[in-house]
Chains A and B, each alone.
Chain A
């Protein structure tokens, strides 16, 4: 079934945003607020000695300089809340906070604070760290094993083993992180850029010994997040809140773009060894996927690099193993398609290499290895649309015309290449509440304490309520981004929509039932005495046969204060199926065969990701995910100096994200799936999928164009200039 973008409700908050009228966190003034600027350690490892704030304090506008000596102690293991002690664990770590009456004064003050350090030995490179097994890899088990992959590899008719590496990436949402913290006795209001108003409320309450209900977190408009405004932002949020308490005045801390390289997390670099075994006719017999990635000196985080490896393709013998090593660098954290992005680069590149070993079309190789069930957990799929994605994507892209031999396609100086990869991402869910109400004016209100990072949460909340109630979309108002609202999910792991959808739909259906019962029982209603199940609501009218009444009139008469229904939904504890979204991505690249420049000219992708609520916005999310894959493949790398432990290049002129001119022609296909067994109302989540497999599809296309297999991201001209 074709999903119609033109019939999708338009973005709820777009009219505000195109006028520049949506107020983001840094644009909400708070009376008598001070501004913070940070003094950062230039050393990756050391101990703060004497801090001389004399010169800074003499500058106009400076109110106070706070160091670890003045800050209250906060006990929070596993995260590095700055200004809690003298130890420095990474370059860029805050060692003092300057509070001033203006942002400029604060920055001038910060530049004038003199800090003495005792330098300590540092581990600056992944190879120098001591590998250890993390407790988990993202939300998954660190290691996995099924069958006997070592024996299967030895006995495989065809086997390959390759090493792939991916670079450190930063999230760089366009809006820098910001917090304005305001204390009122033991009550706290925090305006901040957060992907998790409720998770942050709880954690902040714990840090400061407050009752959660005395903490209010507000985030009405969020200028992107991609993982950088969750746990990675939390320590600095806490620092600012603690500073506001010491200062006794509201305090705003707004990060600079430069600080977003070190204070808001990062996608960890990876070294991945992939071994594949197969029969001559292209059935996978063994996969071994071992990886190493850095974590900080104080925290432990491992991307789930092997998720895709464990489930995407059928294979009886699979072992995956992830190790971390500690380095004196900022704490890595999830970034869009956290492990699935870099992990799928390794797996899907290796599949392409295997296809060439076998002299088998790469799509055909994948078609021969479609997994009939989830072999990792040994459960049936809730659904698996991968085959249809392969078919739809390949047909639209014109894959069948692809010559197998690399270097076959040319146009002038350009070598043209075509490559593909498969993708999957788990359908996660968490508990959520929501309320749907209606006022005497007939306007519907949805209230849910989740956030809209720009993905379209406002829109789908309104749309879900409108559809379940029978009201028009234009009559719905949405409140989100506030911990005073019913508890909503955090925005991450592609799970927000799947989490709140059943809560909103249940609440809306409940409200609908109450409205119909009211009408039925109300002698003043034209619908009096009619059984509710014989009534319907459409376009704001309750109807039965030829009798009808506007919902607003009923509410005004019988519930002038309005009506609200509230509902909650939680995921099944132990589902008897495995739920993933699937996809196939096809890339065409043009490589200047003399100069090595790579440009992606076309990306066709097909996704089977459950129920698509709003095809117009879903398409945006898929395209947005794909461009992240383009960035990962060709542009993005956070470079660390191997001796200083500092980020080299801390601007968006140094850290390249794709621009308009890098955009390929996108061709997106959404395969609609019926998912009655998913408690999410059929929603699987879509934000991550576009970033899975894309880098591999591009690298595979580069191989097809040039015959050069690049196993290290990002692919740069120098990779393609080297003689063979």
Chain B
């Protein structure tokens, strides 16, 4: 099987790679590009640990082929902070201890960012249903929901 050449943008950087046609985007990120912040929890779209944003759309990297990234803009957890400057969601997750083992955390943060980008003023119910695709086995979700709601409130405050 021949390899596919892909030209794309990952975390703002123009990126080119060769991948097998049957390589998932998740495998490309982790195995070819050493972007291991995107986690593999199931490989079947059932846990959300591999959540990334492709052209402003939250998706599971395990259910996307590496070849499908051609010409797209991909955001992974590695692109969520800028140098030492963390995204407010990352900062809030630290502050509130809205994480434990950390395997769901990158996908959770990316999903939360996607949620707030679309809906800066979510209700608690919207957060809980909006993030239902991101499983966590440690935290019981409580602090995650509170962190997302807090960040939403703070961002509304600063943009007022």
A and B touch in the complex (CB under 8 A): yes
Q: Are B128 and A18 in contact (CB under 8 A)?
A: no
Are B141 and A17 neighbours in the complex by a CB distance under 8 Å?
A: no
Interface residues of B (CB under 8 A from A): 20, 22-23, 27, 30-31, 35-44, 46-47, 49, 76-78, 80-81, 86, 90, 93-95, 97, 99-106, 109, 127-129, 131-145
Is B41 touching A257 in the complex (CB atoms < 8 A)?
Answer: yes
Q: Establish whether residues B37 and A223, one from each chain, have CB atoms under 8 Å apart when the complex forms.
A: no
Q: How far is the CB of A118 from chain B (nearest CB, A)?
A: 33
Q: Contact check: which of B31, B39, B86, B97 meets A175 at CB < 8 Å? A: B39
B97 in contact with A626 (CB, 8 Å): no
List A contacts of B101 (CB < 8 A).
173-175, 221-224, 453-454
Known contacts A174-B135, A221-B102, A455-B138; 20 further A-B pairs (Cβ under 8 A): A10-B95, A11-B99, A17-B106, A20-B35, A20-B78, A21-B78, A27-B30, A176-B41, A257-B43, A257-B47, A455-B100, A456-B100, A616-B97, A620-B100, A620-B139, A620-B140, A624-B137, A624-B139, A627-B141, A660-B141
Interface: A447 (CB within 8 A): no
Are the CB atoms of A651 and B46 closer together than 8 Å? yes
Contact A174 B39, CB 8 Å, known A22-B102, A454-B101, A456-B100 = yes
Residue of B nearest to A13 (CB): B102
**In the complex, chain A residues whose CB is within 8 Å of the CB of B38:** 20
* Bound CA–CA A715/B70 (angstroms): 47
Provide the residues of chain B in CB contact with A626, threshold 8 Å.
Answer: 140
Say which residue of B27, B41, B81, B141 sits within 8 Å of A174 (CB atoms).
Answer: B41
Q: B40, B46, B86: which contacts A18 (Cβ < 8 A)?
A: B86
Given A10-B97, A27-B36, A104-B23: A660 in contact with B134 (beta carbons within 8 A) = yes
Q: Does A246 contact B (CB under 8 A)?
A: no
- Contact A173 to B137, CB < 8 A, known contacts A24-B103, A27-B30, A257-B41: yes
Report how far A456 CA is from B139 CA in the complex, Å.
12
Is A106 interfacial (CB 8 A cutoff)? Answer: no
Alpha-carbon distance A626/B140, docked complex (angstroms): 7
Q: Please, how many angstroms separate the alpha-carbon atoms of A519 and B133 in the complex? A: 57
Q: Could you show 24 A-B contacts with beta carbons less than 8 Å apart?
A: A14-B93, A16-B102, A17-B102, A21-B37, A26-B40, A104-B20, A174-B103, A174-B137, A175-B101, A222-B101, A223-B101, A256-B43, A257-B41, A454-B100, A455-B138, A620-B138, A620-B139, A651-B46, A652-B44, A652-B46, A659-B141, A660-B141, A663-B145, A666-B142
Chain B residue nearest to A173 in the complex (CB):
B137
Q: Which residue of B lies closest to A652 (CB)?
A: B46
B140-A18 in contact (CB<8A): no
Asked whether A661 lies within 8 Å of B132 as measured between CB atoms, the reply is: yes
Is the beta-carbon distance between B44 and A257 smaller than 8 angstroms? yes
Q: Contact between B131 and A660 (Cβ–Cβ < 8 Å)?
A: yes
Chain A residues with CB under 8 Å of B131's CB are 659-660
Which residues on A sit within 8 Å (CB–CB) of B144?
660
Closest chain A residue, CB of each to CB of B93: A18
In-complex Cβ contact of B128 among A20, A224, A617, A661 (8 A) = A661
A223 to B109, CA, bound (A): 16
A159-179 CB contacts (< 8 Å) to partner B: 172-176
- Within A1-27, the residues touching B (CB, 8 Å) are 8, 10-11, 13-24, 26-27
- Which B residues are CB-close (under 8 A) to A18? 86, 90, 93-94, 99, 105-106, 109
Task: Please indicate the chain A residues that have their CB under 8 angstroms from the CB of B90 in the complex.
Answer: 18-19
Closest CB in chain A relative to B95 CB, distance in Å:
7
A19 to B123, CA, bound (A): 26
Closest-CB distance, A390 to chain B (whole angstroms): 22
Is A198 positioned at the interface, with any CB of B under 8 Å from its CB? no
Q: Collect the chain A residues with CB atoms within 8 Å of residue B76's CB.
A: 20
Chain A: CB-nearest residue to B127: A660
Q: Is A653 an interface residue (CB 8 A)?
A: yes
Q: Is A226 an interface residue (CB 8 A)?
A: yes
Q: Does A312 contact B (CB under 8 A)?
A: no
Say whether, besides A11-B97, A653-B44, A660-B127, A174 and B132 are in contact (CB < 8 Å): no
Contact A624 B140 (CB under 8 A): yes
Identity of the chain B residue whose Cβ is nearest the Cβ of A456 in the assembled complex: B100
Q: Does A347 contact B (CB under 8 A)?
A: no
- Is there an interface contact between B77 and A176, defined as CB atoms closer than 8 Å? no
B-contact bits for A646-668, CB 8 A (1 contact / 0 none)? 00000111000111110100100
Q: Is the CB of A660 within 8 A of B145?
A: yes
Q: Are B99 and A223 in contact (CB under 8 A)?
A: no
Q: Is the CB of A104 within 8 A of B135?
A: no
The chain A residue sitting closest to B49, CB to CB, is A174
Interface residue ranges of A96-136 to B (CB < 8 Å): 102-104
